Structure 1
Amino acid sequence: MRLRRVAAAILMALLSATTSSVSPAAQRRGGPPPPPSKPTPYWPDGRVNLGPPPGETGLWTPAGIVQLSINPKSVNRANPTSHLPDPITLEAVPFQPWARALHAARQANFERDEPHTRCKASGGPREFITPYGVELVDVPELKRVYIFDVGGPHTFRTIYMDGRPHPADLLPSYYGHSVGRWEGDALVVDTAGFNTKFWMDREGTPHTEQLHLVERFTRTDFNSMKYEATIDDPGAYTAVWTGGFVLRWSPGTELFEYICQDNNRSPQGMVGADASVSRQRRIVP
Structure 2
Amino acid sequence: MYASAMLIPFLLRRRYDLPVTAALVILGTLLLSTSLAAQWVKYPTAGVPRKADGSVNMAGRTPRLADGKPDFSGIWTTAEPNRPTGGLSGPSNQAAAGPAPIVDDKPGDPRAITASRQMSNIGVDLPGGLPYQPWLVPIVKERTANNAIADPHIRCLPDNFLRAYGLPHMLQFVHTPSLLVVLNEMNAGYRRVFSDARPLPDDPTPSWQGYSSAKWSGDTLVVDTIGLRDDTWIDWNGSVLTEAAKVREQMRRPDFGHLEIQVTVDDPKAYTKPWTVTLKQRIVLDTELIDEICLENEKFLQYIK
Q: TM-score range by the shorter chain?
A: 0.7 to 0.9
Q: Which runs of 4+ in 1 moved over 6 A?
A: none
Note closer, same or farther for the CA distance 1:225–1:83 as it changes in structure 2 (3 Å cut). farther
- CA contact under 8 A between 2:97 and 2:124: conserved in structure 1? no
- CA contact under 8 A between 1:60 and 1:248: conserved in structure 2? yes
- 2:65 match: 43
- 1:234 match: 268
Distance in 2 (CA, whole Å) between partners of 1:225 and 1:136 is 11
- Aligned-partner SS, 2:249: strand
Deviations 1:36-59 (A, max 9, x none): 63232223431111124xxxxxx1
- Across the aligned residues of Structure 1 and Structure 2, the Cα RMSD in angstroms comes to 3.3
Give how far 1:149 is off. Answer: 0.7
TM-score by length of 2: 0.68
Matched, 1:116 2:116: no
- 1:219 match: 253
Identity of aligned residues (%): 30
**Structure 1 segment 136-285 matched on structure 2, within 5 A:** 136-140=173-177, 143-152=178-187, 154-264=188-298, 266-267=300-301, 271=304, 275=305
Give how far 1:199 is off. Answer: 0.5
- CA contact under 8 A between 2:59 and 2:255: conserved in structure 1? yes
- 2:169 match: 132
The residue identity in structure 2 corresponding to 1:252 is D
- Aligned-partner SS, 1:263: helix
- 2:110 match: none
- Aligned-partner SS, 2:233: coil
Note closer, same or farther for the CA distance 1:113–1:39 as it changes in structure 2 (3 Å cut). same
- CA contact under 8 A between 2:165 and 2:279: conserved in structure 1? no
Note closer, same or farther for the CA distance 1:37–1:260 as it changes in structure 2 (3 Å cut). same
Gaps of 5+ in 1: 14-18, 20-33, 53-58, 276-285
- CA contact under 8 A between 1:116 and 1:122: conserved in structure 2? yes
TM-score by length of 1: 0.72
The residue identity in structure 1 corresponding to 2:82 is I
The residue identity in structure 2 corresponding to 1:145 is L
- CA contact under 8 A between 2:244 and 2:269: conserved in structure 1? yes
Matched, 1:60 2:97: no
Note closer, same or farther for the CA distance 1:232–1:255 as it changes in structure 2 (3 Å cut). same
Give how far 1:263 is off. Answer: 2.8
Gaps of 5+ in 2: 1-24, 35-39, 41-47, 49-55, 104-115
